């Protein structure tokens, strides 16, 4: 599959510009310096600097879904120096040099500069344009000079022979292409210099859209492209259980060495000890010399050592790794096929996804169910296809019906347009069942990331846009409005209309004006502004057109765009208006207020605006503050020179850093001062479905949840309250300081508060135990929540003392919220908890700023949201909604942890039991090194005889049903705390293996002491003993496995039957082909003692195991065993009711115990109350619709659903259990009281 992808990528057809002609080449032949022509809907084969495009402004649009997962179009611009040259002949005579940074993985930044000049004859522009319509003309001269690429290290990357000389446009770099006259040849400049940024570069892996063609020079090719640099290995993740498995393998190697050393010691003593040496027969009295042999002790030692080594090697369960991997694959399939983990997909397939889908269907149809299969949909080329008819039927095949495991489980047909979850790293399946800490982003993870403007605040007046849509526009149309207020409102609207990175486009089918934006905040602002009568109509690289109330159309010249960065936290645009040059700025409130002019702004208005922003934040709204300032031509000229110099700067690397970004930041801050405040906006981002319920459930399961967000403190706290991360009754500890000394003092105070709370909690539990009450909890007023801002967190991270104090406080708080944090701080917090607390961590996010956090955690979960798929592609598991995290952890994670624990313990148990019998056999054969088992039996032991049953168990085992886990969050806590993997359990399996091996050998030895004979009156020989021993060991370990299974299913019984029948068939077959001594199988099955041994010896071995299991379950049950009893009683009562209904007799309480022994009477009494109540949550979950956002399906789908419902009803009628729900406590408090009584 990887080969097919590489072959397709390397064979991509490209068009090379060479000596005035267009020549097709393969993508594998592209070199830096080549000039390519890329046409509409083509995939860009390398990182290219755009020279010119088919659009008048030198702009083009690309889709970067393969790079960052975003399906919205991004605007790119050709170099202004060459934007006017659109013909092959002109492009062929450009000569230049590009100096840029070394290849790296940064997708959002590039530092470089280009020098261009023209070497060629004079051309009439109109003539060339006519030639281009009929075909390219051959160049009249050949010039081997070309555009070369040079990295900033001073080393020339190379000059391609295929690249041609080119022409640079005349004029200064600020002159737009549209201003170049079409009727005459521009002047020929010499060595024009311009900066090269990401705006001028189209990256490999993106697709050219809505642009007929572009010319570009290759900057990076092959493995040097940014896409390939981002494909580097980020490091493998291994689960904590796999780490334990590796330690167990080391321990088993030590045990193997112990067996070898012990056996050699016994062999040496037996050989050299006169007391232990048996008398020799008369025919062995000759000396070795008489027979011509004289073996030495060394030869004997080596021979015996190799004999023991070959036999004891089978104690190492190498097959456990294969079994574990197979089980992980099946567990991943359960996750992918889980209908509860799916989400409705209302977006289109990107170009990259369509290509991936075609590859999957062509090359790997069987594996297709593991991939995301969505319908391909076509839309207008005028805009990103974000709209889809609700009842559209996607042309996709129901391929999830195929596959080798389709018969193992009946699955409902997945509705079309639904997306299943993705499992990218099945190695971490079991870690999902042991998560202690969850680190979550807020926007797009807890919230929908679907922005709606809620309120405007301008000049002391607040407009409620959600409650009164269009209220701002109505005020501006009000005849009574003063000129001063109108100018203020108009400046506010102008700021929103020009200060953004949004692309307005019109859907060619509907004519609707759409806004394509990377930030949903910006599109929400412009849509709200449009609803108020101020419409952004068009935007080019150099101008913005705004229509006001459908009457006036204003066009502003864009002089400079100062883009938003996470460091600056603001964005500015400088435009030329009839009133002069003006700068409009928007950004975070703390950044804008810090740059506000103290003289021009009214202090009262500033305080009121700050108070309003605070009030909006408390309401959980996302806020932006807007400002502006006028600029004189001289101020702009000085700034333009400074900014252009910073853009063209490339660090020499002598000090180990590149200061270009810092120079740009300084230049921006020099012009973004003395701002005049306009107002603020408040955008609503609602929580996703079931987020509060999910968080509450996870916290009840004793999982710590830390919220890491870049939002304001007030907004973060409000989201914490609305999501139930913080309850109103909790005490909130806020760490918000400006200096490190204060940070230390505040943390010391918090530590004292925690110690005081611990003392109060100790007294509380003492009173609790003395009162004899059950089902009570520590009051929430005695719980704490910690809130830390990014500035204070910077003091903590890196300081060992403060880190320890911070963790002491954070781990003792009910929840932790870190606000105003950077992506790096998110990752550092995760690493801090992972390193110092040694707990299993999980990070979940949806944006590119969450990638470092996701990769730093043990388990990374990505939300496939509005911010693209970068986070999802960097994660181990991904889905679309936060609520799916609950099921992923508590159902799939818990089951995976349980199943993997059992298969690992059983794999070691059966190997130790098998070989330890061989060790005991040494006492019987005088430590001669002879094998007890046949070599074929040892070879097939792990591969055939004991492989299928544990693997099947690890795929289908359950201790409790899914509904019970959803009702009782403490069931997850029990597994996380080591219910199925602890020292006692490990010791129990080890002791069982030694006991069983000893009992088996004792049974075998006892059976052979009286000269056992077979049915032909022949004494039993070694082949018969081997068969007898192998059969006993196989039956014993199989019964042990069956004893540990809680959920028996048909595949388990099928695996059991195949294993047992396969054992006999294999031995008969080996006898037939002559690999075993003939007649052994028939002779053993003719001996009554053989059958008696098969019955008595395994039962004697397992009798202690059964006794211990019974005592532990009866008198010391775990929470899961109590729930199992509840489920069993419910099924028994259902069966009794069904029998009573069939017989027509009323069923009453007859005082019996339902067939239970008297020892379980008390447990049954405690559970009877739970049987009588209906679990409202399970019933609601079964009756609730799947998703309110899902569209209505077509008639064919409705018929399919009706058929499924009829099939389910028929199955229910056959089982005579219609509408019965397993009963549990109605609340967590009842659950705790019930478990406490047990």
Closest by CA position to 860, among listed 340, 447, 441: 441
Closest by CA position to 449, among listed 620, 618, 688: 688
Question: For residue 153, how far is the Cα from the chain centroid?
Answer: 37
1233 touches 774 (CB < 8 A):
yes
Going by C-beta distance under 8 Å and a sequence separation of 6 or more, which residues neighbour residue 435? 703, 840, 841, 842, 858, 859, 889, 893, 976
β-bridge mates for residue 543, sequence order: 557
Residue 712 half-sphere exposure toward CB, CA atoms < 13 A:
23
622 is in an annotated binding site: yes
Q: Any catalytic annotation for residue 441?
A: yes
Any idea how long the chain is?
A: 1238
Q: Could you give the 3-state DSSP secondary structure of residue 783?
A: coil
442 is in an annotated binding site: yes
φ, ψ dihedrals at 145, nearest 5°? -70, 155
In whole angstroms, what is the distance from residue 1220 CA to residue 1191 CA? 30
859 touches 435 (CB < 8 A):
yes
1005 touches 1025 (CB < 8 A):
no
Percent of residues in the chain assigned helix, strand, coil, to nearest 5: 50, 15, 35
1192 is in an annotated binding site: no
In whole angstroms, what is the distance from residue 1054 CA to residue 1058 CA? 6
441 is in an annotated binding site: yes
637 is in an annotated binding site: no
Helix (H) / strand (E) containing 415: none
**Active-site option among 42, 441, 542, 934:** 441
849 is in an annotated binding site: yes
Residue written as tokens 């996750």? 335
In whole angstroms, what is the distance from residue 1100 CA to residue 109 CA? 72
Beta strands at 112-118 and 192-196: parallel, antiparallel or unpaired: antiparallel
988 is in an annotated binding site: no
Q: Could you give the 3-state DSSP secondary structure of residue 1229?
A: helix
850 is in an annotated binding site: yes
711 is in an annotated binding site: yes
Span between the terminal Cα atoms of the chain, in Å = 55
Vertex 1170 angle, CA 1167 and 1171, to 5°: 90
226 touches 54 (CB < 8 A):
no
111 is in an annotated binding site: no
In whole angstroms, what is the distance from residue 128 CA to residue 1142 CA? 93
DSSP string across 127-152: HHHHHHHH-PPPPSS------EEEET
204 touches 46 (CB < 8 A):
yes
807 touches 836 (CB < 8 A):
yes
- For the record, the structure tokens of 465 come out as 């846009």
In whole angstroms, what is the distance from residue 455 CA to residue 466 CA? 7
935 is in an annotated binding site: no
1051 touches 408 (CB < 8 A):
yes
162 is in an annotated binding site: no
443 is in an annotated binding site: yes
10 Å Cβ neighbour count for 449?
Answer: 20
Residue set of the binding site for ATP: 441-443, 522, 564, 586, 622, 709-711, 820, 826, 849-850
Active site residues: 441
Residue set of the binding site for Mg(2+): 441, 443, 846, 850
Residue set of the binding site: 441-443, 522, 564, 586, 622, 709-711, 820, 826, 846, 849-850
């Amino acid at each position: 599959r990887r080969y097919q992808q590489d072959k397709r990528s390397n064979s991509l057809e490209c068009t090379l510009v060479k000596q005035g002609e267009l020549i097709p080449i393969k993508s594998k032949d592209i070199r830096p310096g080549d000039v390519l022509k890329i046409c509409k809907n083509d995939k860009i084969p390398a990182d290219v600097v755009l020279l010119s495009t088919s659009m008048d402004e030198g702009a083009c649009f690309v889709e970067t879904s393969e790079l960052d997962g975003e399906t919205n179009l991004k605007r790119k611009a050709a170099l202004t120096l060459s934007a006017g040259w659109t013909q092959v002949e002109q492009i062929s005579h450009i000569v230049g040099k590009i100096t840029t940074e070394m290849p790296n993985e940064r997708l959002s930044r590039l530092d470089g500069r280009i020098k261009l000049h023209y070497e060629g004859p004079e051309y009439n522009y109109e003539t060339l344009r006519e030639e281009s319509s009929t075909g390219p003309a051959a160049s009249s001269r050949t010039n081997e000079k070309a555009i070369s690429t040079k990295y900033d290290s001073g080393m020339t990357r190379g000059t391609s022979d295929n690249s041609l000389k080119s022409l640079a446009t005349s004029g200064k770099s600020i002159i737009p292409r549209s201003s170049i006259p079409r009727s005459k040849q521009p002047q020929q400049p010499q060595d024009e210099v311009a900066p090269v940024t990401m705006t001028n570069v189209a990256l490999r892996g993106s697709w050219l859209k809505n642009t007929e063609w572009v010319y570009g020079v290759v900057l990076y090719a092959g493995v040097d492209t940014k896409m390939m640099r981002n494909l580097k290995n980020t490091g493998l993740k291994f689960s904590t259980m796999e780490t334990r498995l590796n330690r167990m393998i080391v321990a088993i190697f030590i045990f193997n060495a112990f067996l070898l050393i012990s056996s050699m010691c016994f062999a040496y003593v037996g050989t050299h000890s006169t007391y232990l040496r048996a008398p020799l027969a008369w025919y062995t009295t000759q000396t070795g010399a008489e027979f011509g042999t004289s073996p030495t002790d060394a030869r004997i030692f080596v021979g015996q050592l190799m004999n023991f080594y070959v036999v004891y090697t089978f104690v190492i369960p190498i097959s456990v790794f294969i079994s574990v991997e197979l089980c992980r694959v099946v567990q991943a399939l359960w996750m992918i096929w889980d209908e509860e983990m799916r989400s409705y997909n209302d977006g289109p397939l990107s170009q990259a996804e369509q290509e991936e889908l075609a590859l999957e269907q062509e090359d790997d149809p069987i594996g297709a169910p593991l991939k995301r299969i969505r319908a391909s949909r076509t839309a207008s080329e005028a805009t990103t296809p974000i709209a889809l008819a609700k009842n559209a039927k996607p042309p996709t095949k129901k391929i999830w019906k195929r596959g080798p495991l389709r018969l193992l489980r009946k699955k409902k047909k997945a509705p079309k347009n639904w997306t299943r979850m993705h499992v990218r790293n099945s190695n971490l399946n079991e870690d999902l069942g042991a998560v202690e800490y969850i680190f979550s982003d807020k926007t797009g993870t807890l919230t929908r990331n679907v922005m709606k403007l809620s309120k405007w605040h301008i000049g002391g007046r607040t407009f409620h846009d959600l409650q009164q849509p269009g209220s701002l526009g109505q005020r501006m149309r009000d005849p009574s409005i003063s000129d001063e207020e109108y100018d203020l409102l108009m400046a506010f609207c102008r700021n929103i209309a020009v200060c953004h990175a949004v692309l307005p486009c019109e859907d060619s089918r509907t004519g609707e004006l759409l806004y394509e934006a990377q930030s949903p905040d910006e599109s929400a602002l412009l849509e709200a502004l449009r609803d108020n009568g101020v419409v952004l109509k068009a935007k080019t690289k150099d101008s913005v057109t705004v229509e006001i109330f459908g009457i006036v159309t204003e066009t502003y010249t864009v002089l400079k765009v100062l883009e938003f960065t996470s460091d600056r936290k603001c964005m500015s645009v400088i435009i030329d208006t009839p009133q002069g040059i003006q700068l409009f700025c928007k950004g975070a409130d703390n950044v804008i207020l810090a740059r506000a002019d103290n003289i021009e702004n009214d202090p009262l208005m500033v305080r009121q605006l700050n108070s309003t922003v605070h009030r909006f934040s408390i309401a959980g709204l996302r806020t932006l503050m807007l400002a502006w300032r006028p600029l004189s031509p001289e101020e702009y000229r000085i700034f333009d020179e400074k900014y252009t110099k910073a853009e063209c700067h490339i660090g020499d690397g002598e000090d180990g850093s590149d200061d270009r970004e810092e120079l740009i930041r300084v230049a921006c801050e020099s012009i973004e001062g003395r701002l005049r405040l306009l107002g603020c906006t408040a955008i609503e981002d609602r929580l996703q479905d079931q987020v509060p319920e999910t968080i509450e459930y996870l916290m009840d399961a004793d999982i710590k949840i830390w919220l890491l967000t870049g939002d304001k403190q007030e907004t973060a706290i409000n989201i914490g309250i609305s999501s139930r991360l913080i309850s109103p009754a909790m005490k909130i500890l806020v760490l918000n300081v400006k200096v490190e000394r204060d940070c230390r003092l505040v943390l010391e105070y918090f530590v004292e508060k925690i110690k005081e709370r611990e003392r109060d909690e100790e007294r509380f539990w003492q009173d609790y135990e003395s009162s004899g009450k059950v089902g009570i909890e520590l009051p929430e007023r005695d719980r704490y929540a910690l809130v830390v801002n990014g500035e204070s967190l910077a003091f903590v991270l890196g300081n060992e003392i403060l880190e320890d104090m911070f963790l002491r406080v954070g781990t003792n708080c009910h929840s932790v919220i870190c606000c105003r944090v950077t992506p790096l701080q998110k990752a550092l917090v995760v690493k801090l908890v992972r390193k110092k607390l040694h707990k299993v961590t999980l990070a979940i996010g949806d944006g590119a700023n969450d990638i470092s956090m996701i990769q730093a955690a043990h388990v990374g979960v990505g939300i496939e949201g509005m911010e693209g798929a970068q986070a999802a592609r960097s994660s181990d598991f991904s889905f679309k909604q936060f609520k799916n995290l609950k099921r992923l952890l508590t159902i799939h994670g818990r089951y995976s942890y349980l199943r993997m624990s059992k298969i690992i313990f059983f794999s070691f148990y059966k190997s130790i039991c098998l070989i330890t019998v061989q060790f005991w056999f040494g006492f019987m054969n005088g430590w001669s090194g002879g094998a007890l088992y046949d070599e074929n039996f040892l070879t097939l032991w792990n591969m055939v005889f004991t492989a299928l049953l544990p693997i099947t168990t690890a795929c289908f085992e359950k201790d409790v049903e899914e509904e019970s886990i959803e009702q009782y969050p403490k069931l997850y806590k029990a597994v996380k705390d080591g219910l199925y993997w602890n020292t006692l359990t490990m010791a129990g399996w080890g002791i069982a293996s030694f006991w069983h091996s000893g009992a088996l050998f004792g049974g075998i030895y006892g059976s052979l002491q009286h000269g056992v004979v077979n049915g032909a009156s022949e004494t039993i020989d070694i082949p018969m003993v081997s068969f007898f021993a192998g059969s006993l060991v196989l039956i014993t370990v199989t019964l042990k496995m069956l004893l540990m299974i809680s959920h028996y299913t048909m595949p388990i019984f099928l695996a059991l039957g195949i294993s047992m029948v396969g054992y006999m068939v294999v031995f008969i077959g080996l006898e037939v082909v002559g690999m075993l001594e003939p007649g052994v199988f028939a002779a053993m099955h003719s001996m009554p003692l053989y059958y008696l041994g098969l019955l008595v010896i395994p039962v004697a071995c397992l009798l202690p195991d059964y006794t211990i299991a019974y005592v532990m379950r009866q008198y010391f049950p775990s929470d899961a065993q109590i729930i199992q009893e509840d489920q069993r009683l419910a099924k028994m009562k259902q069966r009794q009711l069904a029998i009573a209904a069939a017989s027509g007799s009323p069923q009453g309480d007859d005082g019996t115990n339902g067939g239970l022994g008297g020892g379980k009477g008390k447990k049954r009494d405690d559970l009877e109350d739970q049987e009588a109540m209906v679990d409202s949550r399970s019933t609601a979950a079964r009756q609730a619709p799947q998703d309110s956002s899902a569209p209505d399906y077509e008639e064919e789908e409705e018929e399919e659903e009706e058929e499924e419902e009829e099939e389910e009803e028929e199955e229910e009628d056959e089982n005579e259990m219609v509408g019965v729900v397993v009963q549990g406590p109605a609340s967590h408090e009842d659950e705790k009281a019930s478990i406490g009584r047990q």
